[in-house]
Structure 1
Amino acid sequence: MARKIGSRYTANQILGRGSAGTVWLGEGPEGPVAIKLLREDLASDEELVGRFVQERTALLGLEHPHVVSVRDLVVDGNDLALVMDLVRGTDLRTRLDRERRLAPEAAVAIVADVADGLAAAHAAGVVHRDVKPENVLLDMQGPLGPGGSHPALLTDFGVAKLIDSPKRTRATKIIGTPDYLAPEIVEGLPPRASVDIYALATVLYELLAGFTPFGGGHPGAVLRRHVTESVVPLPGIPEELWQLLVQCLAKAPASRLRASELAARLREQLPMLAGMPPLDVDEPETEAPEDAEESAAAAPVTEEQRVRRRGAVSLVPGAKPDSNRDTHTSMRVPGPDELAGGARGTARVPRAAGAPRPGSARHRVAARRRKVTFAVAGVVVAAAVGVGAYLATSGDDSAPPRETQSTSSP
């Protein structure tokens, strides 16, 4: 059912729902538009509305071929909306869900487009703060690029900053999507341009591998990995591309490349990636709870269970996720002892297909079975040795007794 948004726009059809609001296909004075209507409970926050108006100039001035431009910001009664260019296509998450992972050439071309868009945003003083596949749109009407990739555009600029008001987050909360959060955000530092580089490098890793480098399991464990764990190498990735990924996933923000540098370096990689098939990497298993029943833990994990386990914590209780990850999470900042992790660690290491992840419940069950097998084998060997010794000593009664060396004192 159509509804009016302000005096100039009409929202006709819902395109998607997220934890921050609903995206509509709309109509404006200049033709079709996309309208992101924020949730009513967010729109009723006077402080957020004030920030919304303050960001108007910065968001309206951000124009680039790889950025979904914001045409207008509407504040009308209970309606708080961003009116944006309409992109005819799909988002990168949808393509990932369909293909699981992309060929390196296409993945690098898409990320290079997004890096170009980020470079323009950072030059204008705008930090995205929520770079992830859900916020990358693929223009299906645009010309095909390297690897058959469609032009990529980054959307939802300003949404994370608008929601991240002091009243909502204070100094002990985190705004962002766990899988893509830079370590400095987890540690409570203010977000700067380098957080977008870290998130974009995480997206590139995910496009190549089919999973994020530190994701999976409870959001608290994901946040801890960002701070304490090193990224695990991907088999088959060219060394130059891998070193680029490692640099942009560095824990220290100053070690990462700028967006313009990243875009240029990625485009330099494209010729050597031409024709390379998607990497053959098995996705690591999500950690099982320590107190889980071994029989249940050893059971196969369905695709539905895997997706559900990887979910994040909603910013707004009861909010629906964009897809299998929520747009934002609102959590307390972990303490130093929590960030330090345990002796077992939490790294998600790629492994051979079907092999249990070290430290998981399936791994412990397999280890216990090996111990039982070794114990049984030991008993069998001992029995065989005993029988052999008996036969050797009793086979010839006429043999003279064997001499032994005495250890007693004279």
Structure 2
Amino acid sequence: MARNIGSRYTAHQILGRGSAGTVWLGEGPEGPVAIKLLREDLASDQELVGRFVQERTALLGLDHPRVVGVRDLVVDGNDLALVMQLVRGTDLRTRLDRERRLAPEAAVAIVADVADGLAAAHAAGIVHRDVKPENILLDMEGPLGPAGSHPALLTDFGVAKLIDTPRRTKAQRPAGSGAPNPSGIIGTPDYIAPEIVEGLPPRAAVDIYALATVLYEVLAGFTPFGGGHPGAVLRRHVTETVVPLPGIPDELWQLIVQCLAKAPASRLRASEMAARLHDLLPTLKGMPPLDVDEPDAEPAAEPYEDALPPTPGEPRRRGAVPLVPGSAPADSNRDTHTSMRVPAPDELAGGAHGTARAPRAPGQRRPGSARNRSTAVRRRRITLGVAALAVVAAVGIGGWLAVSDDDGQVPPPDFQQSAPSDP
């Protein structure tokens, strides 16, 4: 059913839902638009409404062909809405759900488009803070690029910043979780930069880290630090190093490594990342998608704790994971801006240091996986059991010698002690 948004716009039908609000297909004075109607609890927050209005000039001024433009901001009663350019197509997450991974040429072309958009935003002093496949739209009506890729545009600029206010983060609860959000991190665990996990303010480098994570995911079919409980994902961002992807040119791999550097200052700028990706495109022509298997998801277990194998028949999760079990809405693959807690220093130090979840050749188990750790634990127990038997046997031999005759003769067989049999 149609509804009016302010005095100039009409929302006709829902295109999608996320944790921040609902996106509608709408109509305005200049034709079709997309209207992101934020949640009513956000619209009732006067502090946020004031922040919303303050951001209006910056958001309206961000005009770039690789950015979904904000046409207007509407504050009308309980309605708080961003009126945006309508992109006819799909998002990158939907394509990954269908194809899992893309050929390197197409993957790099899409990410290069997004880097171009980020370069314009950063030059205008705007940090996105939630770069991920759900926020990358593919324009199906635009001209085809390398490897038949559609033009990519980055959307939802400013939404994370609008929602992330000091007062809100003390009281905001993830949808349906019943738990407060004491820290105020806004983002999605798989794409969070290490400095955000450690509580530092977000700068432009957090977008580069997130975009490099997207590039890795589009190439491999999974994120470099994802899998398992969100707390484990956050810890890996801080403590683990990224695992190499076999089969891609070294120059592309070095770019990914640099953009995933733990130190923000070591990462490329958006303009540098875009330029290098565009330069790499001719070298990737004709390359097939990578053939790597996704690592096993690790359970939320303490170090050295017995790890249980995955439940038979349980589907493997890929991409973003919810923070609170059961808190995601029905269409959680469109969910954005998941609230999460900053781990304490001792929690961050508790994880294993080294290389993150290693991709495997199809059919191979990953070293250090839950099943392999269980096997290692069993082997250690067997080794300890054998050692214990050896000690008992030695004691038995000593007893056998102790009961020999004074003249050194061995007593009859019924006096000999034998080692216990294997349990």
Q: Structure 2: which 5+ residue stretches go unaligned?
A: 171-181, 385-423
Q: Please say if 1:50 is aligned against 2:62.
A: no
Alpha-carbon distance between aligned partners in 2 of 1:276 and 1:206, rounded to the nearest angstrom? 17
| Structure 1 residue 351, shift from structure 2 partner | 1.6
- Could you tell me which amino acid in structure 1 is paired with residue 281 of structure 2? L
| Structure 1 residue 294, shift from structure 2 partner | 8.7
- Could you tell me which amino acid in structure 2 is paired with residue 267 of structure 1? H
| Structure 1 residue 339, shift from structure 2 partner | 1.1
Q: Quick check: 240-249 or 40-49, which moved more?
A: 40-49
The 3 A distance-change label for structure 1 pair 368 and 335 is closer
- Where does residue 328 of structure 1 map in the other structure? 337
- From 242, 255, 260, the counterpart of 2:266: 255
Q: Please say if 1:297 is aligned against 2:309.
A: yes
Structural RMSD (CA): 2.6
- Could you tell me which amino acid in structure 2 is paired with residue 269 of structure 1? L
Q: Is the 8 A contact 1:147 1:274 kept in 2?
A: yes
- Could you tell me which amino acid in structure 2 is paired with residue 297 of structure 1? P
Alpha-carbon distance between aligned partners in 1 of 2:111 and 2:76, rounded to the nearest angstrom? 36
Alpha-carbon distance between aligned partners in 1 of 2:312 and 2:367, rounded to the nearest angstrom? 16
Q: Please say if 1:350 is aligned against 2:362.
A: no
Q: Is the 8 A contact 2:164 2:186 kept in 1?
A: yes
| Structure 1 residue 364, shift from structure 2 partner | 3.6
Tell me, what secondary structure is at the counterpart of 1:90? strand
Q: Structure 1: which 5+ residue stretches go unaligned?
A: 376-410
Residue pairs, 1:242-391, within 5 angstroms = 242-290=253-301, 297=309, 299-303=311-315, 306=317, 311-313=321-323, 318=327, 320=329, 323-324=332-333, 326-343=335-352, 347-367=356-376
- The count of corresponding residues between Structure 1 and Structure 2 is 371
The 3 A distance-change label for structure 1 pair 154 and 314 is farther
Alpha-carbon distance between aligned partners in 2 of 1:345 and 1:274, rounded to the nearest angstrom? 34
Tell me, what secondary structure is at the counterpart of 2:80? strand
| Structure 1 residue 179, shift from structure 2 partner | 0.6
- Where does residue 224 of structure 2 map in the other structure? 213
Q: Could you report, residue by residue, the CA deviation over 1:143-198 in whole angstroms, capped at 9, with x for unpaired residues?
A: 00011100000000000000001112258331111111111111111111111111
The 3 A distance-change label for structure 1 pair 321 and 120 is farther
The 3 A distance-change label for structure 1 pair 343 and 122 is closer
Q: Is the 8 A contact 1:34 1:83 kept in 2?
A: yes
Alpha-carbon distance between aligned partners in 1 of 2:41 and 2:19, rounded to the nearest angstrom? 12
- Where does residue 149 of structure 1 map in the other structure? 149
Q: Quick check: 214-223 or 96-105, which moved more?
A: 214-223
Q: Is the 8 A contact 2:129 2:207 kept in 1?
A: yes
Alpha-carbon distance between aligned partners in 2 of 1:345 and 1:250, rounded to the nearest angstrom? 14
Alpha-carbon distance between aligned partners in 1 of 2:361 and 2:147, rounded to the nearest angstrom? 27
The 3 A distance-change label for structure 1 pair 302 and 354 is farther
Q: Is the 8 A contact 2:89 2:140 kept in 1?
A: yes
| Structure 1 residue 41, shift from structure 2 partner | 1.1
Residue pairs, 1:179-198, within 5 angstroms = 179-198=190-209
- Where does residue 392 of structure 1 map in the other structure? none
- Where does residue 70 of structure 1 map in the other structure? 70
Tell me, what secondary structure is at the counterpart of 2:333? coil
| Structure 1 residue 237, shift from structure 2 partner | 1.2
Give TM-score scaled by structure 2 length: 0.82
Q: Is the 8 A contact 2:198 2:342 kept in 1?
A: yes
Q: Is the 8 A contact 2:240 2:353 kept in 1?
A: no
- Could you tell me which amino acid in structure 1 is paired with residue 184 of structure 2? K
| Structure 1 residue 20, shift from structure 2 partner | 0.5
The sequence identity of aligned pairs, in percent, is 81
The 3 A distance-change label for structure 1 pair 346 and 264 is closer
Alpha-carbon distance between aligned partners in 1 of 2:341 and 2:307, rounded to the nearest angstrom? 34
The 3 A distance-change label for structure 1 pair 364 and 33 is same
Q: Could you report, residue by residue, the CA deviation over 1:94-141 in whole angstroms, capped at 9, with x for unpaired residues?
A: 000000000000000000000000111111111101000000000000
Q: Is the 8 A contact 2:16 2:334 kept in 1?
A: no
Q: Quick check: 88-97 or 217-226, which moved more?
A: 217-226
- Where does residue 202 of structure 1 map in the other structure? 213
Q: Could you report, residue by residue, the CA deviation over 1:337-361 in whole angstroms, capped at 9, with x for unpaired residues?
A: 1111334778211123233333333
- Where does residue 94 of structure 1 map in the other structure? 94
Q: Could you report, residue by residue, the CA deviation over 1:262-304 in whole angstroms, capped at 9, with x for unpaired residues?
A: 100001100110000001110001113549x99972554543x
